[in-house]
Structure 1
Amino acid sequence: MSEPRRPAVRLAEDHVPARVAYGALAFVVVFGALLVFWAWILYSGSLREFRAERDLPAAPARRSAVGERLFGTSGSGWERLRLQEEGLSRWRWADREAGIVDMPIEEAMRLLVEEAEGR
């Protein structure tokens, strides 16, 4: 009664020979090294496009009519900003004939607030 259903089929442990495992590992390492080498060749070749093959001329000292510097706190741009800030903090005639006066911005904001509050 307890006869096996398929007597030719039996369980066996999975076993990968060491030679096959080491061969697969060696293949992966060599293939990876070839990919890295190929990427390096492509990368170094693409850099050649950006390298100067001759001496480049010196950059002009001034590129435009505007004499501003990108960094720092000196130069004509900063001087102009300082003068504009001074202009916003003092009284002066904008148009004497029309009776238009520039006033300090703080004073103008205070007057606007008072006007809005109905004082």
Structure 2
Amino acid sequence: MNNLVTHNFTNSQEQFYNTSPTQNLKSLIEKGDLHFLSEFNEIFPDFISKIKSASSKLNAMDIKFCVLLKMGFTTKEIASVTKSTVRAVQSRKYRIRKRLDVPNDEDLNLFMVTFS
């Protein structure tokens, strides 16, 4: 019995330490934890300020979508997290693309992931 408890504890520790900070952040976002933004700022300290300086037309929800795109969320995942439809997410991504002047032939998701 003691070995079972120790074994389960060791597995929990290994699982915690083997996850990357971005996986932990993604988990916080999926749970709807409001502390995800402070965690995001620790991992990507300049992203939000740079995205804001790239376009003054971005509002708070646009920036949240940019953060989700930076984290590698798909359109369906963003819809789930934001409790909106896939079509609404597609529309928001289109508006963000226009506000940031991202060319139509460039993938917005890839643009956000590589944006620094």
Shorter-chain TM-score: what band? under 0.3
Flag the structure with more relative contact order, 1 or 2, with Cα contacts below 8 A and sequence separation at least 6. 2
Which structure carries more strand by proportion? 1
Which structure carries more helix by proportion? 2
TM-score by length of 1: 0.21
The higher radius of gyration belongs to 1
